[in-house]
Amino acid sequence: MRAHELRRSPDRFGRVCRRAPGSGAARPTFPQGEQDMKRHCILWAALSISTILLAASLLPTRAFAQGTDSALVRGTVTDSSGASIPGATVTMTNDGTQISEKAITDQMGRYIFQVLKPASYTAAVESQGFKTVVRKNIILRVGDQTDIDFSLQVGSVTQTVEVSAEAPLLNTVSAALGSQVTRRYLINLPLQDRNIAELTYLTPGITEVSGCDINCTGGTNFASNGQRFATAEIRLDGALASTPEGGEGGSTNGRYQPSVEAIEEFTVQNNSYSSEYGSNGGTVINIVTKSGTNQYHGSGWYFMRRPGLDANDFFSNATGTPKGTYRHDQYGGSVGGPILRQKTFFFFDYERTRDNAPNTITTSVPTAAERNGDFSQLLADGRQLYNPSPSAVTCTGTGINRDCTRAPFLGNFIPSSLWDPIGAKMMNLYPQPNQPGDVEGFGNFAAKVVYPSHGYQFDVRVDHDFSAKSRLDARYSHQSGESDNPDPYFLESTKYQTRTRNFVLEHNWNATPTLLWVNRIAVMRQNNPETTTSSVDPTSIGFPAVLVNNTYFNEMHFPNVSFDDGYQALGLTNGCCTDTVETDTQWLIDSQLTWLKGPHNLKFGFEKRIFLNSFFQPDNTSGDLYFGPSMTASDVFNPDSSQGNGLASMLLGFLDVNSAGVTARPHVANKSAETSFYVQDDWKATGRLTLNLGLRYEWSTPYSERFNRNMFSCFNCDSGVFVPSVNLISQTGQDFGVLPGREIFGTTQLATASHRHANSDLNNVAPRVGLAYRLNDKTVLRAGAGVYYGLNFATNWQYGARAWNKYVSIPSSLDGGVTPCATLENPFPLLSDPTCKTPGPFNGPPGGKYGALTNWGYDDDNHGSNTFRNGEIYQWNLGIERQLPAQMVLDLNYSASRATHLPWNYSTENRNFIDAKTRETLGPDTLSTPVTNPFQRLFVPVNGSTPLFSYNDVSDSIYTNPYVPYGDLLHPFPQFPGAFSGFPLFVASSSYHSLQARFEKRTSHGLSFLGAYTFSKFLTNSDAGGNAWIGSLGFVGAPQDLTNLRAEKSVSGNDTPQRLVFAVAYQLPVGRGRPLGRNMNHVLDGIFGGWQANSVTTLQSGQPLTIFESNNTITDGHQRPNVTGNPCSGTDIHAVVSASLSGGTANYFNSNVLSDPQPEYPGSAPRYFSNCRVQGINNTNLGISKRFIIKENTYIEARADAFNAFNRPRFGPPQEAFGDPTFGQIFSQANSPRHGQVGIRFVW
């Protein structure tokens, strides 16, 4: 997926499940051909109805099964001598809803509650012959698993002993690691735009990813315990709120994020050893929404950001550029309460956002003189224009010795007789210059444009207790957003939309006091349409209709007209994503049966995930038209970059050679699945020791495409084609010897309904083991180890296979630029006509008609092969947790992981590369020498041969030529002159070791804090899997030598030796009811009372840098330089930045220890340098709030937040391309300058 991922688009098929009027049932409506989706909606309706009927009809003391959005409490009831008391009744009452749940102790005096919703509880224990014990204010959080024991005194059951309770601080049941963020932090900590994803970083072991902030891929883009970025799983009320990334697969996207006001708790588990979790990198984020209680409660809020609250960024300040005038508004309300008291409860919230992001466009447009053919002002800078007309071209020599030059335009004036009619009209589609510009006229236009965006979202939750044994919870969430990218000056404007719907239905049933059953069904659906509109019909200025109405598209867009010499592009300028339509739908069905058998808490579970991805990304549907200066330079074959001009080339109608075409790409509709079964035994072996024993089996069903427009590669299949031996002679007569005849292996396999594009990995057995040993009431020792399998890399692929996906070239010249062929008026000439005057067909993709020989003569970049497998992840930890005075807890852990069989990035998909020894021996000049083409006779008639392919399908293949580069014939699969690809190699690995500390103080005396410290080492040989486009990992993910992947091992690009994050919420002790001024009058309290200060401070080591060659000379790799020492110069970073701005000599790197390797040889520099890093993080976010109490539980709160409060710039990485003139200079700020946010909340 491209970088536009974050603003991508809706369902191109319009599939919706709509509710029938007057009915709670979902009635599906389908466009024609949507049979897969129809079956799923019918399944959903049937399961929903059956679950509701089951819940309504069953009446069977409830201790619901442990779920992902709940807490577990267990313990032992004894008498004063320590003897167990069987048959005692333990009652847990939710203080908000007054709903009680009961458990009966067994023969050993044990009890358990497995699905307690996060809340404040009161526990009561009674048994005949003993006094009743009551323990109040038991605060339970998401994922809490703790022991609470009771000791009863002899007496009457009517006598009550009240125990002073402290909230459980220790996890005494599980070996899992992570952190919990309570509502106090959610509401009070400064969160920019109230984005809860920032709370993820409060967990030990989690670090920010190099080159990308938390919003990338929807909130999962962080590195956790040595795993790759964007592999975490997000669960909302137990259901998945993340889906596979919509483009490449192998990573996740957070699809929905509720409002802060709707969230009860936020929990991160990054070493979870329960077998309930799988199909992810080992990290799970659990978010639980608020439920209604027996009292009506609600809130209203309004937050905003304005330019006066923001600082300017460092580089804008340095260059005198004023800061932007960004405006953001965020407001909404919530209400919750009873529908039927102590029975049915609801919660509803609604929020709107509105943004206005202004932007100043400074660019270059044609001058009035240039519109009239007068380019004389270019001569002031020595830029001469030359006439590309055939009559003005003079050639000498033949073959590779041919040399052609053009005649100059006198005075750089182009006579109107040579103007192309369409090119001249395009010149006048530009707005007139409104700035003086430089000597050549560049920078002569400026305008201000505002990019508005707005959206809303809401959540509706209903909880109903049928009885003490049966409960039903349901939630529906909806989000809608729209942003505009207007372009009033350059013809095309784009609108981005997002529609997200998430529904979950969960039923809990306690069949017997020891048998518990939880069923859940959920669906997440996101539509992301991206619509581009054109202000000019291209046919109105002479373009042919085929550009806007052909076999693949019928859309009125202006072509993407681009230049590389500084001029503003026209038309479709948003590249890949014009009119993208995407719909992702994910179904989740899971069931868990829990059986309490003596000391064993047994869980048996099943989970099914079905992912449907419908995608259409047509690129520039009216074509890419590139006009460069080379067509108006003197030398035809070796143009001088100081000559020529792109606008002049456009005025003449001369496209650059091999630089124009139209993408023909179909819709795709993919389907994949994840299936798992698991068993878990949480065994309380002794009163102090709990063992967590689990086993999970899961497998991935790789994607299939609804219309079978997929292919996959078979690298060892025989094509049945024999190519005879041939004596290879270069164009200059050099003898390269005889190329032996050979049977050609390597074929393309076409997918069918029963023949998928990949194999299934059926070996994914994942054992888990953990222990929690209570040394005493304040200390717990924990250890655990487990096996995980990474998210399926073969979830989906956004494009149709190569046979159905083609870039249809516009052949501007067939002889390198001497003679024009295709024109703007006739972009697809009939090539059999040597004059190129006859309109030809629009030669779209051939489809699968050539079977196993599909794509011969081209790159065969398939995204599938029979080499698929899931990555294997091994995690383990050992630690101790200690409860301290004043409601504090300290948790210290050694946490480690190792991963194997991870997918390398796309650079290893290609198997068609030349081995290193051959490359190094022959060198680049020999490899690129044109020699006799033995494949030509298969593509065009040669000496009476019968071609295997229709000429229209292969006319732009280099194998129709008599000569091809020698290196193409040395490939393992020479029938493909470029790549022959399948899945990437699943051979990447990583290792991670860390010391982690979590320290927390729960609220007392108005103070609470939460901190996380990580000291770690992270090694890997590849950081990026499918989506190398995220962050700064794309280029460096490519190895130097595909035959020596071991040499790529280094510290990870996300290696972060130290990280500390510390969050504080402090209620100042001044005001009514507080230690200072307890009885203060209301006037003084309104001034001095009710204040609270909040902060989040982050300190983090810098992440490592890479250095690569600006002039790569490795044919199939990405070369790095040789290095003989520490490449970091040690120069102060502020001096480097100052020199970068002023042209000084200070440099971040020491070039004296770097040198260029020989051509085709890898350099000695590692993939990343552990001793050379970017600037680290030193950031503080501050917040202050003031509450005005109206009455009990009703108040108004005003607050102000500052992000990067001290406005400390964190500079971006230096330029890393060795040999580039800007190498080692810094031109960017990696963090945002100070931003301010003010808001007001009304709570009742």
**Which residue type sits at 231?**
T
φ, ψ of residue 937 to 5 degrees: the values are -65, -15
Q: Does the pLDDT of residue 215 top 70, yes or no? A: no
Please state, as a whole number, how many other Cβ atoms lie within 10 Å of the Cβ of residue 844: 19
pLDDT confidence tier of residue 172, bands split at 50, 70 and 90:
confident
What is the predicted pLDDT for the residue at 1203? 96
pLDDT confidence tier of residue 692, bands split at 50, 70 and 90:
very high
Average of pLDDT values for 1168-1173?
A: 94
Domains and CATH numbers, the chain: 71-168 (2.60.40.1120)
- CA atoms within 13 Å, Cβ hemisphere of 592: 26
Contact (CB, 8 A) for 249 and 1026? yes
Tens-place pLDDT, residues 225-262 = 998 877 888 999 999 998 887 655 567 888 899 999 99
φ, ψ of residue 111 to 5 degrees: the values are -140, 165
What is the predicted pLDDT for the residue at 573? 61
What is the predicted pLDDT for the residue at 743? 94
What is the predicted pLDDT for the residue at 1145? 86
Contact (CB, 8 A) for 125 and 152? yes
pLDDT confidence tier of residue 38, bands split at 50, 70 and 90:
very low
Per-residue DSSP letter, 568: P
Contact (CB, 8 A) for 586 and 243? yes
Per-residue DSSP letter, 322: P
Q: Does the pLDDT of residue 969 top 60, yes or no? A: yes
Higher pLDDT, 4 or 595: 595
35 class by beta-carbon count within 10 Å (0-12 exposed, 13-18 middle, 19+ buried): exposed
Tens-place pLDDT, residues 738-775 = 999 999 999 988 877 666 667 788 889 999 999 999 99
Residues 6+ apart with CB under 8 A from 1129: 1147, 1148, 1149, 1150, 1224
Residues 6+ apart with CB under 8 A from 681: 600, 601, 602, 603, 691, 692, 693, 694
Contact (CB, 8 A) for 354 and 328? yes
Quote the radius of gyration of the chain (alpha carbons, Å).
Answer: 34
Residues 6+ apart with CB under 8 A from 496: 7, 8, 9, 482, 483, 484, 485, 528, 530
Average of pLDDT values for 876-880?
A: 95
φ, ψ of residue 41 to 5 degrees: the values are -65, -40
pLDDT confidence tier of residue 360, bands split at 50, 70 and 90:
confident
Distance set, CA 34 to CA 31, 94, 754, 1025, 1089 (Å):
6, 46, 19, 32, 62
Q: Does the pLDDT of residue 472 top 90, yes or no? A: yes
Separation of alpha carbons 1137 and 1133, rounded Å: 6
Average of pLDDT values for 508-537?
A: 89
Tens-place pLDDT, residues 645-655 = 999 999 999 99
Please state, as a whole number, how many other Cβ atoms lie within 10 Å of the Cβ of residue 22: 6
pLDDT confidence tier of residue 37, bands split at 50, 70 and 90:
very low
The rounded Cα 574 to chain-centroid distance in angstroms is 19
Identify which of 391, 311, 300 has the alpha carbon closest to the alpha carbon of residue 351.
300
Please state, as a whole number, how many other Cβ atoms lie within 10 Å of the Cβ of residue 1195: 16
Separation of alpha carbons 1206 and 1197, rounded Å: 24
What is the predicted pLDDT for the residue at 575? 58
Long-range interactions of 831-839: CB distance < 8 A, separation 24+: 831/955, 832/951, 836/811, 839/544
Q: Does the pLDDT of residue 1181 top 50, yes or no? A: yes
SS3 call for 856: coil
Q: Name the token pair of 1188.
A: 């005005």
Distance set, CA 1040 to CA 543, 902, 1045, 1049 (Å):
45, 19, 8, 12
What is the predicted pLDDT for the residue at 323? 85
**Which residue type sits at 274?**
S
Q: Does the pLDDT of residue 1180 top 90, yes or no? A: yes
**One-character DSSP codes across 1134-1170:** HHHHHHHHHT-S--SB-GGGEEPPPTT---S--SSEE
| Cα angle, residue 176 at apex, residues 174 and 177 outer, rounded to 5° | 135
Residues 6+ apart with CB under 8 A from 60: 467, 469, 470, 509, 510, 511, 512
What is the predicted pLDDT for the residue at 616? 84
Higher pLDDT, 1088 or 753: 1088
SS3 call for 894: strand
Separation of alpha carbons 793 and 776, rounded Å: 45
SS3 call for 566: coil
The beta strands (E) that lie in 386-514 are given as 386-387, 393-396, 403-408, 445-467, 470-485, 492-512
Tens-place pLDDT, residues 379-429 = 998 999 999 999 999 999 887 788 999 999 999 999 999 999 999 999 999
**Which residue type sits at 880?**
I
697 class by beta-carbon count within 10 Å (0-12 exposed, 13-18 middle, 19+ buried): middle
Separation of alpha carbons 959 and 972, rounded Å: 16
Separation of alpha carbons 270 and 176, rounded Å: 8
Identify which of 193, 307, 301, 167 has the alpha carbon closest to the alpha carbon of residue 257.
193
Select the highest-mean-pLDDT range: 392-396, 704-708, 910-914, 919-923.
392-396
Which stretch of 492-496, 822-826, 905-909, 972-976 has the lowest confidence by average pLDDT? 905-909
SS3 call for 955: coil
Higher pLDDT, 1086 or 1059: 1059
Identify which of 496, 522, 736 has the alpha carbon closest to the alpha carbon of residue 609.
522
What is the predicted pLDDT for the residue at 1025? 64
Q: Name the token pair of 421.
A: 């009619």
1077 class by beta-carbon count within 10 Å (0-12 exposed, 13-18 middle, 19+ buried): middle
**Which residue type sits at 138?**
I
Q: What is the pTM of this model?
A: 0.85
Separation of alpha carbons 660 and 804, rounded Å: 19
Please state, as a whole number, how many other Cβ atoms lie within 10 Å of the Cβ of residue 356: 14
What is the predicted pLDDT for the residue at 671? 87
Contact (CB, 8 A) for 660 and 579? no
What is the predicted pLDDT for the residue at 174? 81
Q: What average pLDDT is seen over the chain?
A: 86
Helices and strands (DSSP H and E) totals, the chain: 12, 65
**One-character DSSP codes across 744-797:** EEEEEEEPBTTB-SS------EEEEEEEEEEEETTEEEEEEEEEEEPPPTTS--
- CA atoms within 13 Å, Cβ hemisphere of 921: 7
First to last CA, the chain: 45
Tens-place pLDDT, residues 112-165 = 888 888 888 999 999 998 999 999 888 887 777 788 889 998 888 777 888 765
